[in-house]
Amino acid sequence: MSGGLPIANNRYFDNNFQRPGVKLLPNEFFVTREDMVLATVLGSCVAACIQDPVAGIGGMNHFMLPDDGADSSRATSDSMRYGAYAMEVLLNELIKGGARRERLEAKVFGGAAVLAAMTTLNIGDRNSEFVRRYLALERVRITAEDLQGQHPRKVCFMPATGQVMVKKLRAAHETQVSELEHRLAREMRERRAERSRERVELFAKPARPGSTEPGAVRTDAGRPKVELFGRPASTGTAAGMGRGEAQGTPTQGKTMEEA
């Protein structure tokens, strides 16, 4: 596989499947012809498991957000968190390894609203809609999916055969997923706040030189800055403010079934 890409390297031996395995963390991917297991745990993130059944090669990715990154010329761990890059890199590496695009088959998982905040931010739904749309545009057939809902998932993919096993987990028992979801929700709120500030700056009217009017835009080293809306409150006054169908996926997180 290409050097410099965020390839998963957490290898282990999977006692359940009695074969070598690789655990994928967020923003990673892995492509192989070996008879092994690719495993990951998902909350609002999405994993695409893609295989060429004729060539016997397959791969998995794990992305966090559907939006494009900032620099399309490189695929780093940071840009791989975005679905557009994660999907492009996975498809390119499969084709480099001998897969044919017209033979590729995909199984997709994740996109859950694990936290109450995720229902408002809609990250899981957006990730799910993105991966369906991307694969449709690339003409890669989705043969199975288990997307959205409220439960985290553990996904185990056998690239050599295309078999995928999915287990739904109890969110309270998945500390790693919960921590990631809280961090992602906080990041999304910060990004929205930043975009709101940028929109305010874009339409703000520059203040007259030396002006100290409340709410005025002041220029410092050529960069506009914006104060809070309205006049400051007076002393003592309070300021107001698919496609496809899930196949054999368990609902209680106690068993593993095939997708």
Q: Which residues are identified as catalytic?
A: 45
How does 191-226 read in b/e, with b if 16+ C-beta sit within 10 Å? eeeeeeeeeeeeeeeebeeeeeeeeebbeeeeeeeb
Token pair for 166 = 């999915």
Token pair for 254 = 């106690």
pLDDT at 196: 58
pLDDT in tens, 169-213: 876 455 666 676 766 666 666 665 665 565 555 555 555 555 554
Per-residue pLDDT of the chain (259 residues; tens, 9 = 90+): 555 788 999 999 999 999 999 999 999 999 999 999 999 999 999 999 999 999 999 999 999 988 754 444 444 445 677 899 999 999 999 999 999 999 999 999 999 988 765 556 788 999 999 999 999 999 999 999 999 998 899 999 999 999 999 999 876 455 666 676 766 666 666 665 665 565 555 555 555 555 554 444 444 444 444 444 444 444 444 444 444 444 444 444 444 667 7
* CATH node for 10-179+247-258: 3.30.1330.200
pLDDT in tens, 30-58: 999 999 999 999 999 999 999 999 999 99
Inter-axis angle of helices 123-137 and 83-96, to 10 degrees? 40
pLDDT at 116: 67
Whole-number Å distance between alpha carbons of 228 and 122 = 28
pTM for the full model? 0.69
Among 3, 8, 126, 1, which Cα is nearest to 61's? 8
